[in-house]
């Protein structure tokens, strides 16, 4: 099966690791993802149904729009990928519009524009909740039309919800399988880059997620797979799981020399 790409660029996206994740995901009726991100695992698995959640309301609104208004969205988003919009002045004007707009549909269009024209495809907000990624200076940003249509087709068997990961997990029913891709633990003290959203993911959250995963399988027989960096800390958090080590390329470093393969963990509670 040829891997399908997400229509969003995404720091920490799982496109590279899809084969490893698929290999360790158990069979089930429904796949639940509390940290859906760009959706690479969703796009490259075959479950009957999906519950895909994220705390980022802009992301979830975008996915629901692509699912329900596919043709309108593709037509209107394409207009923002003309050359006239690929300059710093237009980028910052549209970023400001995004940060002040209350129009959900317009915000979804601008979110895709900012994602593809912003630096490194980052999704980052300041403490006021304003999107603050700078202009990316790409020669010709790619308009992901084919990827949008594939996502919309696949999304017909998915439910997208904006909520805290704990809410999503506690609603899981037997027969479901859960894949968690939380903001990763830092590899070092200086590498703490987990605040993609204004509500950052703390060490307490990491421990709580591991505890919930153990609880879900131990009490309800719902298997849970979690991905994270392979560190002493993460191994301590996931001591009750079966651990699988895989290698992945780091792509978040602004210094190309810093983009090297690192060890990641897939922790399976089953």
Q: How far is 57 from 36, CA to CA, in rounded Å?
A: 12
Q: What is the pLDDT of residues 48-94, one digit of tens each?
A: 999 999 999 999 999 999 999 999 999 999 999 999 999 999 999 99
Pairing of strands 49-54, 261-269: unpaired
Tokens, residue 240: 């009750």
Q: What is the pLDDT of residue 96?
A: 98
Residue 205 annotated as lining a ligand binding site: no
Tell the CATH topology of 17-55+163-269. Rossmann fold (3.40.50)
Residue 10 annotated as lining a ligand binding site: yes
Pick the CATH number of 62-146 from 1.10.340.30, 3.40.980.10, 3.40.50.300, 1.10.1020.10: 1.10.1020.10
Q: How far is 169 from 257, CA to CA, in rounded Å?
A: 38
Across 107-123, average pLDDT: 97
Residue ranges per domain, the chain? 17-55+163-269, 62-146
Other Cβ atoms closer than 10 A to 166: 13
Given a cut of 80, is residue 253 above it in pLDDT? no
Across 102-131, average pLDDT: 96
Q: What is the pLDDT of residues 14-55, one digit of tens each?
A: 888 999 999 999 999 999 999 999 999 999 999 999 999 999
The mean pLDDT value of the chain amounts to 92
Given a cut of 50, is residue 196 above it in pLDDT? no
* Share of residues in the chain with pLDDT > 70 (%): 91
Given a cut of 80, is residue 258 above it in pLDDT? no
Given a cut of 50, is residue 192 above it in pLDDT? no
Say which DSSP state 140 is in: S
Q: How far is 212 from 218, CA to CA, in rounded Å?
A: 10
Contacts of 99 (CB under 8 A, 6+ apart): 130, 131
Q: What is the pLDDT of residue 12?
A: 81
* CB crowding 186-196: b at 16 or more within 10 Å, else e: eeeeeeebbeb
SS3 state at 224: strand
DSSP H helices, 45-199, are: 57-68, 70-78, 88-100, 104-117, 145-154, 165-170
Under the banding of pLDDT at 50, 70 and 90, the label for residue 259 is: low
Q: How far is 196 from 133, CA to CA, in rounded Å?
A: 10
Residue 76 annotated as lining a ligand binding site: no
Nearest to 29, CA basis, from 133, 173, 168, 127: 173
What global pTM score does this model have? 0.91
Residue 72 annotated as lining a ligand binding site: no
């Amino acid at each position: 099966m040829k891997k399908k790409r997400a229509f969003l660029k995404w720091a920490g996206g799982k496109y590279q690791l899809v084969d490893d994740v698929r290999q360790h995901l158990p069979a089930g009726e429904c796949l639940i993802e509390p940290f859906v991100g760009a959706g690479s695992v969703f796009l490259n698995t075959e479950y009957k149904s999906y519950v895909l959640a994220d705390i980022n309301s802009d992301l979830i609104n975008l996915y629901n729009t692509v699912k329900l208004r596919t043709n309108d969205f593709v037509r209107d988003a394409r207009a923002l990928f003309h050359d006239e919009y690929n300059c710093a002045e237009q980028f910052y004007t549209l970023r400001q519009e995004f940060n002040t707009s209350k129009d959900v549909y317009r915000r979804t269009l601008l979110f895709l524009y900012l994602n593809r024209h912003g630096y490194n495809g980052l999704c980052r907000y300041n403490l006021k909740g304003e999107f603050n990624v700078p202009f990316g200076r790409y020669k010709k940003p790619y308009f992901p039309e084919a990827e949008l249509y594939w996502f919309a087709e696949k999304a017909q068997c998915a439910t997208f919800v904006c909520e805290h990961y704990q809410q999503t997990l506690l609603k899981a029913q037997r027969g479901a399988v859960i894949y968690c891709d939380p903001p990763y633990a830092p590899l070092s003290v200086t590498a703490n880059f987990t605040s993609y959203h204004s509500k950052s993911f703390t060490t307490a959250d990491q421990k709580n997620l591991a505890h919930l995963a153990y609880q879900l399988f131990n009490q309800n027989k719902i298997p849970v797979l979690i991905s994270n960096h392979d560190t002493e800390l993460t191994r301590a958090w996931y001591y009750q799981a079966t651990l699988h080590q895989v290698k992945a390329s780091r792509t978040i470093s602004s210094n190309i020399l810093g983009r090297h393969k690192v060890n990641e963990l897939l922790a399976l509670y089953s």
